[in-house]
Amino acid sequence: MKWILSLGLAFSLSAFAQKDSDVVATVGNKKITLGEFNKKYKEVTSQVITNMPSRKVFLEDLIRYEMGLQEAKKRNLERDPMVQDRLNQELYKGLLEKELGQKVQENKVTEAEMKAYYAKNPQIRVSDILIEVKPGATEQQRAEAKKRATEILGEVLKSKRPFEELVRLYSDDLTTKNLGGDIGWQSRLTLIPSYYDAALRMKLNEVTSNLVETPFGYHIFKLTGKRSYEEATKREIRMAVFDEKRKVLFDEFFNKLKKQYPVNVNSKLVE
């Protein structure tokens, strides 16, 4: 008799067992199943560290999401240019993630690669005199700034005074003027390429013999330091090498696509 009662109890409990196909909510013509709810709730909670929503709160959010989605479709918002542009952006990101995401994650940066990169791209330190050219300056204003910078360069190259004193005398950069022009340790990642390349060609404690032009104006500077690999910030080097390897993957992928989608460019229009 007892086993009959136990069997009956087990049967009654199984009748109430939750199944993935059970419907937890119906929104318009959309049925949200328990399986769908659990999957989305797991995705959200795996990404949230604090303020994790309860299952009931998340269900309400899911219902609102479904209502909003149906209303958007009712209004034909998929035809809206702004929505289409966002959709295109998501399609582009989705393609890159699908094709390159795993390959990028598997990219490993070795110590040898870091050392090879750093040999060509060391961290440097300079003291800088800036002859400023303000944004939106006219050609005449830029020419006047260059003339003044050329005159200052001549004075600097002839002067016997410490470079730091000359910075305080001539530089327009109020941030570094009272620091003798010191801009701290910098790298290829943090400096404008023309500026960094000019500094890289110099010897330690050498002053530029020519003006270096950047969007900020004209520069005269002195190379005051060059870090060894052992002293350098390894995290920054590792990231730089990682970015270079990632760029190779992207370049290879898009070079293959070019064979399917020929590209013609009139670069003169954007000069």
2 pLDDT above the threshold of 60: no
pLDDT tens string 227-254: 999 999 899 999 999 999 999 999 999 9
Q: What is the CA radius of gyration of the chain?
A: 31
- Whether residue 52 is contained in a domain is answered as yes
Residue 192: which of 250, 146, 130 has the closest Cα?
Answer: 130
Say whether both 143 and 60 belong to one domain: no
- Whether residue 260 is contained in a domain is answered as no
- pLDDT of res. 16: 55
pTM: 0.69
CB 218 within 8 A of CB 131: yes
Instruction: Please tell me the distance from the alpha carbon of residue 25 to that of residue 19, in angstroms, as a whole number.
Output: 14
- Whether residue 54 is contained in a domain is answered as yes
Say whether both 63 and 155 belong to one domain: no
Say whether both 207 and 133 belong to one domain: yes
By three-state DSSP, how is residue 54 classified? coil
Mean pLDDT of the region 77-95: 94
The number of domains in the chain is 2
- Whether residue 73 is contained in a domain is answered as no
By three-state DSSP, how is residue 249 classified? helix
Q: What are the φ and ψ backbone dihedral angles of 64, each rounded to 5 degrees?
A: -65, -40
- Whether residue 9 is contained in a domain is answered as no
pLDDT tens string 108-145: 999 999 999 999 999 999 999 999 999 999 999 999 99
Q: Which CATH number characterizes residue 149's domain?
A: 3.10.50.40
- Whether residue 188 is contained in a domain is answered as yes
What are the strands, taking DSSP E only, across 95-253? Answer: 124-132, 182-186, 212-214, 217-226
Q: Single out the residue in 209, 226, 243 at which a domain terminates.
A: 226
The residue segments making up the domain with residue 35 are 19-67
Q: Single out the residue in 28, 49, 67 at which a domain terminates.
A: 67
CB 146 within 8 A of CB 156: no
- Whether residue 262 is contained in a domain is answered as no
- Whether residue 83 is contained in a domain is answered as no
165 pLDDT above the threshold of 70: yes
